[in-house]
Amino acid sequence: MNAELVRVTLFSVTMASLATLVMLPPGVALGWLLARRRFPGRTVVETVVSLPLVLPPVATGLILLRLLGRRGPIGRILDQAGVDVIFTWKAVVVAMAVMGLPLLVRAARAGFEQVDHRFEQIAATLGASPIRVFFSITLPLANRGVMAGSMLGFSRALGEFGATIMIAGALPGTRTLSTAIYSYSQTGRDTAATLLLAVAATIAFVSVFVSNRLGSGHLEQPPSPSDD
Amino acid sequence: MTDTSVILDFAVRRGSFRLDIHEQLQSSAVAIVGPSGAGKTTVLDAIAGLRRPARGKIVVHGRTLFDSDSGIDIPPAGRRVGYVPQDVVLFPHMNVDRNILYGTGRGEPPLFERVLELLEIGSLAGRPIDGLSGGERQRVALARALMSGPDLLLLDEPLAAVDVALRGRILPFIERVRGELGTPVIYVSHAADEIRRIADHVVVLESGRVLRVESVSAPTPA
Amino acid sequence: MSARQFLLSTALLAIAACGEGRHSDPQEVLLVSAAVSLSDVLSVVAAEYERATGVSVVLNLAGSDTLATQLAAGAPADVFVSADRRQMDRVENDGIIAASSRVDLLANQLVVIVPSTRAQPVTGVDDMRSSRIRRIAMGDPDSVPAGVYAKQYLEAAGLWEDVRSKVLPTRDVRAALAVVAAGNAEVGIVYRTDVVRASGVSLAFEIPIDLGPQIRYPAAATVGAGESAATEFLAFLTGDVSRAAFEDAGFIPLSRSLSFRPGPKP
C-alpha cells in the first residue's frame, strides 16, 4: 500500500509539474495578448480560454476525447504518426494542462496589466526590440502574476479528475491521486482513500498558500515610475 | 560641416488637447520652454517615436525619423535617441549598473568609466535603485541614455524634481555632457533661465502652439 | 526562469512526447475496460490469467458510462465489461464490439441493508411501507444501474408509489452504503457484492433472484487488432477459476458452454 501511495503521489506531482511547464508558453502569451492588444475575435479567445473553467470537467474531457481519440481530427493524425495519447501519461498531462490554463491566463493577464507602459516605452527608446522588451522588461515585471498563476495552474492540475479519467482512463500506469482516491472509495478501500486524500489536500494547501504569498500582500506591488 | 537641421513639422492630438508645431531650425541644442500643459513632453514623445502624429515630418540632423507623406515611421528602437523622461523611469527590477548598460550594443557609446566619472556616480555601482536620492536617479537615467550611444538626447525637465540646492550641481553635468560628448540635445524645461546656459535656440510653447523661437547669442556669464 | 530556460524545456518536452511511439506487441498486453465495481475481483482474475498465459492484463476501471464514452471515441481497449446492459448496447450499436463475442458474464442480486447498530427491524420488503422507515438510500434511479434495478424491483412489487417519497438517491452505491452506515437512512438497497466488504451495515434480507430484476454484467471483445486475444480472455472469464473468484466476491457467474484451455506460454 505504501509503495503504491508513493508511486501515485510522485506520478501525480511529476505530471502536474510537466503540465504546468506545458501551459506556461501559451498561458503567458495569451495573458499578454489579452492584456495588451485589441484584436478582432478577442472575445472569442477569452471565452474559449475560459471554457474549461466554466464547463464541468467531464464535459471538457469529452471534448478532448473527441479531438484526440483515434477517430478524432487530431487523434487521427497522431495515430498515423504512431503517437499514442489516449490512456497514456500524455493524456494526463493534456488534461491537466487544459484545465489549469484558464487560471494561469487570468493571473498572467492581471500581472501584465499592472506593468506600467512607461517602462516598455523607455526600454524601446534605448534600442530594445519588441521581443527584448518583452523578455527583459515586461515579463520580469509581471513575474509575480505569472508565478502565482503557475502555482494555481499546478494546484488545479494536481486536483484534476473529470477530464483526466475520461482521456487517460484509470489504468495502473495513469493513476493520479484523484483517480486513485476515486477507485479506492468505489471499492470500499476507505482507509487507503482517506490516506491519499490527506496527501492530496496537503499538497494543494501548500501550493495555494505559496501562490497567495507570491501574488499579493506579503511582497510589494510592482512599482510605477511615479514612485520615488 | 555636420547637418544641424532640425525639422519639427507635425500635429498631435491627445484627447481634447492638440499640439501644432511647424518649425525648422539649424541647431544642435534646442530648448523647449513653456508652462505646464503646453505640450512640451508631447513634442519629445513624438520625436522619440512614442506618440505618432496624425501627419507631418520629423527630421533631426539629416535623419528622417517620421514623414507621413513618404510613409516613414521609424520605431522607437531604431530612432537612436536617448530619452531621459520627466518621471525618470529607472527599471525597478535592475540595479544601477544594469540600468545604465541596458541600451548598450548600439552605436558608439562613450566609455563606461568616462560617463560614470562625468556624472559622478561611480560610487553607486552595483547598488539597487531603491534608496537612491532624486538627484542620483536623474544622473543614472542620464548615464543610461548616454550609454545607449544616441544620436540625439531628449531631456524632459531633468531638474524639475530636484531641489534647488542640487539643481546648481546637476546643470554643470549637462553642460559638461554637451561640451565633452558633443551629442545634440533637445531640452525641455519650464525654467527658462536654466536652459540659456545650454541651448542655442529656444522654442516657446503655450497651449500646444509655438509662440516664438528665440536665438541665444552667448552663454550668460556665470 | 529565463526565456531560454523555458523555451528549452518545452522543446525537450515536445520531443519526448513524440519520441515515444508504440513498441509493445499488442498480443502481450490486454487492455480491459471494466466497471469499477468489479475492481477487486477482476484484479484477482487478471493475475490468474497472467500466471496461466503470460499475457499481461491492464485494467481501466471507471463508471460504465465513462467507459462506453471512451470506447465510442476510439479508446484502445480490447475488452469491455459493463455493469449495465445499456452501455454495452450503446457500443454494440456503434459497431465497436464484436457482437458474436458478447456474453452475459455475471449476475448480481439486490439486497436490503440496515445500519449494523440500532437498526429498525426489517424482515421483508413490505416493511418499507412502515412509518418507522423514513428514508431508503439507493443509487439514483435515473442514472445509477443499481438504482435503476432497485426501482424496477419496487415497481414490480407494487411498492414504488408508496415509498418513492422516502427514496434518497445517491451518486453511487458507495454513497448509499455510507448513508446507511451513518444512520441517515434506515434502510438501503444495494447489490449483494457491495455488502461483502462494507462496514457499518448489515444484511437485512436478500431479494430473491426470481423475484428481483435481471442484473446483468455483459462482456465483449472490441473489434480490432486485439480481438482474438480478447476472446481468449473472455473464455477464461467463463472458466472455472474465474467463476470461483466471482462467487467469492458475491457475484453470480452465468455459466456458458465455453471452456478455456490456456495456450502454451510464449
- Residues in chain A whose beta carbon is closer than 8 A to a beta carbon of chain B? 118-119, 121-130, 136-137, 140-141, 222-223, 225-228
Per-residue confidence at C235, pLDDT binned at 50, 70, 90? very high
Decide if A70 touches C, using CB distance below 8 A: yes
Instruction: Return the pLDDT at B109.
Output: 66
Q: What is the per-residue pLDDT across A134-146, written as a single tens digit (0 to 9) for each?
A: 999 999 999 988 9
Per-residue confidence at A14, pLDDT binned at 50, 70, 90? very high
**From residue A203, how far is each of A1, A151, A152, A156 by CA, in Å?**
19, 11, 12, 11
Q: What whole-number distance in Å separates Cα of residue A85 and Cα of residue A94? A: 9
Pairwise CB contact (< 8 Å): A123 & B85: no
Most confident of A154-158, A181-185, C144-148: A154-158
Find the mean pLDDT for residues A139-162: 90
Q: What whole-number distance in Å separates Cα of residue B193 and Cα of residue B81? A: 25
Q: What whole-number distance in Å separates Cα of residue B202 and Cα of residue B190? A: 11
Q: For A183, which residue in chain C has the nearest alpha carbon?
A: C36
> In A, which residues are within 8 Å of C78 by CB distance?
none
Decide if B129 touches A, using CB distance below 8 A: no
Decide if A14 touches C, using CB distance below 8 A: no
Buried b (16+ CB within 10 A) or exposed e, B87-97: bbbbbbbbbbb
Per-residue confidence at C261, pLDDT binned at 50, 70, 90? low
Cβ neighbors of C231 (< 8 A, separation 6 or more) are C98, C101, C221
Instruction: Return the pLDDT at A55.
Output: 93
Per-residue confidence at C230, pLDDT binned at 50, 70, 90? very high
Q: DSSP letters of A42-56?
A: HHHHHHHHHHHHHS-
Phi-psi region of A163 (alpha: psi -120 to 50; beta: other; left: phi over 0): alpha
Find the mean pLDDT for residues A195-208: 86
Instruction: Return the pLDDT at A201.
Output: 86
- Residue C251's φ and ψ, nearest 5 degrees, are -85, 165
CA dihedral B17, B22, B27, B33 (to 10 degrees): -30
Instruction: Return the pLDDT at C42.
Output: 94
Pairwise CB contact (< 8 Å): C17 & A66: no
In total, the C-beta contacts within 8 angstroms joining chain A to chain B are 65
Is residue C254 within 8 A of residue C104, CB to CB? The reply is yes
Instruction: Return the pLDDT at A3.
Output: 86
User: Closest Cα of chain A to C237: distance in Å?
Assistant: 20
- Are there at least 3 beta-carbon pairs closer than 8 Å between B and C? no
Instruction: Return the pLDDT at C138.
Output: 94
% of chain C residues with pLDDT over 90: 48
Q: What whole-number distance in Å separates Cα of residue A7 and Cα of residue A2? A: 8
Q: What whole-number distance in Å separates Cα of residue B201 and Cα of residue B28? A: 9
Instruction: Return the pLDDT at A227.
Output: 42
Find the mean pLDDT for residues B54-66: 90
Is residue A5 within 8 A of residue A195, CB to CB? The reply is yes
Other Cβ atoms closer than 10 A to C255: 9
More confidently predicted of B171 and B205? B205
